[in-house]
Amino acid sequence: MNSHGRAKVLMVQGTSSHSGKSVIAAALCRIFAQDGYQVAPFKAQNMSLNSFATPDGGEIGRSQAVQAAAALVAPRVEMNPVLLKPEGDRRSQVVLMGRPRAVASAREYHELKPRIWTQITSALDQLRAEFDVVVMEGAGSPAEVNLKDHDIVNMRVALHANAPVLLVGDIDRGGIFAQLVGTMVLLEPEERALVCGHVINKFRGDPSLLTSGLEFLHERTGVPVAGVVPFFNDIHIPEEDSVGLASDAETEGADAIDVAVMRLPHIANFDDFDPLRHEAGVRVRYVGRASGFGDPDLVVIPGSKTTVADLVWLRAQGLDGRITDARHRGTPVIGICAGYQILGNELMDPDGVESSASQTRGLGLLPTMTVFRRDKATHQVRGQVVRDAGLLGSCRGAEVVAYEIHMGETSGADSASPFVLQSRSQNEVDLPDGALDSEGLTLGTYLHGLFHNRAVRRSILACAGARRGLSVVSTEDDIDPSAEYDKLAALVRRHLDLDLVYRSMGLTR
């Protein structure tokens, strides 16, 4: 129990999606933690295919896991009680308190909201009972007038908690004054009263050129500008949305190890590849069409919420043939989660979990078969590399720390499994994972976060570069996520009026 009995709250809302709410919220989580408070993040409802497994096996949005790391606390399901994972046909899987509960259309989901709201408020109240500060995040915009009657994530949450709100706008997109003024105009009077400050995010240039605009904002809305946060690209925080992914046109650096990641329509957990992007001498491209495939040194098929639909898409784009041809020419291929399932011979769906197709032919690069099940596996895991061929040729015995989120069971590769899991959701186990072909050049695994393990990543890159005589550039250390949160907090401290923030929360610095 915290010393205050009920946590102080602050909410970060935005004028649009991708305005930077998640990053500002993460910065505030680290700032409050640095200032001596026990902090928890909270987002009532997250719509994202980027998810994460909590230590006890629940599933939440990746952005809340990132914010929990920034706050120096373990992620838990109360931090994101509702996660929507879009599927095809305008439907989403509804993950409630860490577990999948339904697959619903937008209309069906609206009908569920009265019951869901009770669990949202209960989760928030639980966090407020245990922590000193709760930093809440909204979703999209609070001024979507066609959605406000069904709101359970923006101003309704702020009103429930009587939370001061920072309203974040993205100046990099243009129209910042219209964004902020227009949002304020469309809010109800009691909602406008909660907005304590505007934040102009992703600013490039001379702040003095904004002076007249900031004065206009204050005069027009009655709300001060709490900060002008500059655009940055030297602080490494995981992206929440696939909007931030690089395109397949970014091909500079001919002497770099070229990693082609298939940009599946329902790509999930794409921060799996952040460690590759941060390696010197490595270029990561997201490929969405056959003409952009090129001649990569490593091909990766990532995770997906809808494996079968994305496999059909791969074929429609002609990327299936490009992948198999590349592998037959000696290019290594890796499949993560759904990508692992796609690499196999067959995908079976007797219960219609993934699609209406009961059987789908895979790419046939691994001798495996996947059967989709209704139960979802969500685990944090620890394990070990137990093969030493090809991609894993220099890392046998290395520890692997990762997580699983999948609804399929894959068989046919036990004798060739490259990994053994020793801990799963904090329980001791002895389970094989994945498959590695006889040459060691086709690897499939359910382990998200595989590339975050330095020894494994370096072994994979060394193998990928060998065909063109490229070697991995020697560096001493990986990026330290905690140090990145400290850098982010320092940047936001310099550019955000924290006195205003603390005062609005009724909190003492």
> Is 196 assigned a catalytic role?
no
Tokens, residue 204:
């490039």
Q: Residues near 499 by Cβ (< 8 Å), separated by ≥ 6? A: 509
Distance from C-alpha of 464 to C-alpha of 455, rounded to nearest angstrom? 14
> Is 266 assigned a catalytic role?
no
Q: Residues near 59 by Cβ (< 8 Å), separated by ≥ 6? A: 51, 52, 53, 77, 83, 95, 98, 99, 100, 376, 378, 405
Q: Residues near 140 by Cβ (< 8 Å), separated by ≥ 6? A: 14, 16, 17, 154
CA atoms within 13 A on the CB side of 207: 11
Q: Mind giving me the DSSP string for 207-250?
A: GGGGHHHHHHHHHHHS--EEEEEEP-SSS----SSGGGPPPTT-
Catalytic choice (196, 337, 395, 463): 337
Catalytic choice (198, 236, 379, 448): 448
Phi and psi at residue 451, in whole multiples of 5°?
-75, -10
Phi and psi at residue 173, in whole multiples of 5°?
-85, -10
As a residue count, the chain comes to 509
* Cα–Cα nearest to 447, from 392, 388, 504: 392
267: amino acid identity, one letter: I
Distance from C-alpha of 55 to C-alpha of 72, rounded to nearest angstrom? 14
CB 301 within 8 A of CB 342: yes
Q: Mind giving me the DSSP string for 20-34?
A: SHHHHHHHHHHHHHH
Distance from C-alpha of 128 to C-alpha of 12, rounded to nearest angstrom? 17
Tokens, residue 371:
């059967």
Tokens, residue 235:
């602080």
CB 48 within 8 A of CB 85: yes
Beta strand segments in 233-368, E: 257-262, 267-268, 282-287, 298-301, 303-304, 333-336, 346-348, 359-361
Listing from the earlier edge strand, what are the strands of the sheet with 91-96? 45-47, 82-86, 91-96, 99-105
Rounded to the nearest 10 degrees, the angle between the axes of helix 481-495 and helix 62-70 is 80
Question: If residue 465 lies in a helix (H) or strand (E), which one and from where to where?
Answer: helix 454-466
Positions marked catalytic: 337, 448
